[in-house]
Structure 1
Amino acid sequence: MEYKNPLQLIDNLVGQANEYLSNQMVISRPAVNVSENQDSYFVQLAAPGLKKEDFEIDVSSSTLTISANKGHETSASTGKKYTRREYSFSQFKRSFSLPSHVNTDKVAAKYEDGILEIILPFIKQEPPADTRKIKID
């Protein structure tokens, strides 16, 4: 193909590169809400279209990491012949610093209606003992 205008060639190459890259991998950063009550933090992550098996949640004493990988089916496994295929591989990884008062042994998670919710309970602080008088010797 011959181009009379060099800008037309550049525009065509950029368009082809963008289409190629956008069809290869989708890396997104899902939206997150963090709320709290007197007992826990709640992390809600919007991730529609995934299954709970697609997620991996790691927690340490100072970091919460949420990641997901979702691959696409090959046309050989589905028996379909595609004229155009835009579904692709997607992945993300989000990490959050945890305050020291989170009980990492009791972290729980659930996934429902496209929302991953992680409950980060606080370490229970024992209430101070009742006030008592100290005798001075």
Structure 2
Amino acid sequence: SNASAASQQATATPPAFTFVPPYQKPTELYAYLLALLPLPMLVVDAFLFTTAPGDPSVLAGDLTGFIALWGSILFAALDARNVYRSHRNLKHRTMVPFVLLTPIGYFWRRHVIIGASKKYLFTWLATFLIWAYCIGTLME
């Protein structure tokens, strides 16, 4: 009996090592920057539509698409890193790829993982609708 208990103890695997990152103070800065990202896009579009010769929609579309894609990825990655380092996502569940579904997907995933407020989601929706309305007005 003692021999079987000793052999079970010897063959038992040790608990898995879990890396815990150094603690970083939680910040919502990157979530706010991502939520407000359509506003700099609007400024760039308005500038190009009022000053660019020829058809400004081509250049504006390229530039704001660049800002939207890379700004979203950058701010989502920085926010996800802060969420992880502030010990709010220790299981390291995936967040950043959801930004490719639009920031709506990212903010919804953020809400599910850490129980964050949906205010960022609604802020992004509001600023996006403002951007879309203004672009529609500029294109008339």
TM-score by length of 1: 0.30
Q: Point out the structure with the larger helix share.
A: 2
Select the structure with the greater relative contact order (CA < 8 A; seq sep ≥ 6): 2
Choose 1 or 2 for highest CA Rg: 1
Q: Point out the structure with the larger strand share.
A: 1
TM-score by length of 2: 0.29
